[in-house]
Amino acid sequence: MPLLPPATLRAYVARIFEAAGAPPEDAALVAHHLIEANLQGHDSHGVIRVERYIRDIEAGVLHPGAEVRLDRDDDTTAVVDGGWNFGQVVAHRTMAVAVEKARLRGVGIAVAHRCGHVGRVGAYGEQAADAGCIGIAMVNNHGGGRVMSAPGGLERRLSPNPIVVVLPTEPRFVLDMTTSVVAEGKLRVARNRGESVPDGWIVDAEGRPVTDPAAFYGPPQGSLRPLGGDAAHKGFGLALVVEALAGALSPAGTSRPGAPSVGNGLFCMAIDVARFRPLDDFAATFAALIEYVQSPPYAPGVDHITVPGEPERTSQRTREAAGIPLDDTTWQQLLATGEKLGLPRLEAR
């Protein structure tokens, strides 16, 4: 398994996107986003996506450099048309619009459609938090990309429908979760590595629990399970909420037969904390809560309570120092993509 210095990998991925026709600024933004996902341990949303993005460009369904424009715009809300540009470009712009409105009016909400795959949704919540706002973001798969069945159902009817909430605290609180048990990309990583997945993640086409990711991809196709195990109705309910806010509230639409599987419908919300109370007071109040919930007593064998955002910070420190590990399949796909676009071969450690 090769190890790549983050800066080297970031520069190479940016060159791939430039070679595929992306403006340099957009290529750098997307590359930065993907490598940050790898650094934080979310390999399912990292450079494993490069090969697919290039295939989408070649197929004419992803349009680097397309204009990102506002369909509707008022004091607190906006509808963004991404023109099928890179999802990272569209999502960054959409959250920037929401933050700008929050600065003016206390809260800003923007939804986007015709938006490519946005990658790690937590990045956009962090973007809002960097501006002193609470960042909330959700995406569906623009009506397509169905991978999750309803509790008791056999067919895929919903996308993973992630929900993100990020608070402007130090350390940063980052809740970044799918409403399915796991993101589909983690199955892709397991398949590339030849690994099984934990029981409870997926079911086969007959609704039977399985651990081989190949049973998900089929044929016949299996599906992801909603979050919650025996209480899967809770994850299912949250998934429907995401469909309402990221799909029904925007022109992207909700999950439906025949919809394209090329991008995301997006909901972004920014709340300016200072409109309610001083940011330092908010952060101190929440820090006291974290200290309280992390304090003993602990269950046997437990010496620390982990809160959202901690695993990513730990992974980032480790991978910044040691390099980003790529499974052999992803590495070969990345090299083949670069060579196809005329780039010299990248060497790993």
Q: Distance from first CA to last CA of the chain, Å, rounded?
A: 10
As a CATH number, domain 1-61+309-349 is: 1.10.1530.10
**Whether residue 221 has pLDDT greater than 80:** yes
Amino acid at site 28? A
Residue showing tokens 């439906």: 256
List the beta bridge partners of residue 175: 165
66-181+225-293: CATH topology: Ribosomal Protein S8; Chain: A, domain 1 (3.30.1370)
Same fold, 1-61+309-349 and 66-181+225-293: no
**Whether residue 185 has pLDDT greater than 90:** no
Contact between 10 and 31 under an 8 Å Cβ cutoff? The reply is: yes
Q: Counting Cβ atoms within 10 Å, is residue 124 exposed (0-12), middle (13-18) or buried (19+)?
A: buried
List the beta bridge partners of residue 70: 80
Contact between 113 and 84 under an 8 Å Cβ cutoff? The reply is: no
Indicate the pTM of the whole model: 0.94
Q: Counting Cβ atoms within 10 Å, is residue 152 exposed (0-12), middle (13-18) or buried (19+)?
A: exposed
Could you report the per-residue pLDDT of 2-21, keeping only the tens digit for each? 999 999 999 999 999 999 99
**What share of the chain has pLDDT > 90, as a percent?**
92
Report the phi/psi class of residue 150: left, alpha or beta, with left for phi > 0 and alpha for psi in -120 to 50. Answer: beta
Could you report the per-residue pLDDT of 74-133, keeping only the tens digit for each? 999 999 999 999 999 999 999 999 999 999 999 999 999 999 999 999 999 999 999 999
Task: List strand residue ranges (DSSP E) for 74-125, in order.
Answer: 77-85, 107-116
Longest alpha-carbon distance in the chain:
59
**Model confidence band, residue 348 (pLDDT cutoffs 50, 70, 90):** confident
Residue 294 has which token pair? 């992390």
Q: State which H helix or E strand residue 166 sits in.
A: strand 163-167
All structural domains of the chain with their residue ranges: 1-61+309-349, 66-181+225-293
How many degrees, rounded to 5, is the angle at CA 103 between CA 99 and CA 109? 45
Could you report the per-residue pLDDT of 258-306, keeping only the tens digit for each? 887 779 999 999 999 999 999 999 999 999 999 999 999 999 999 999 9
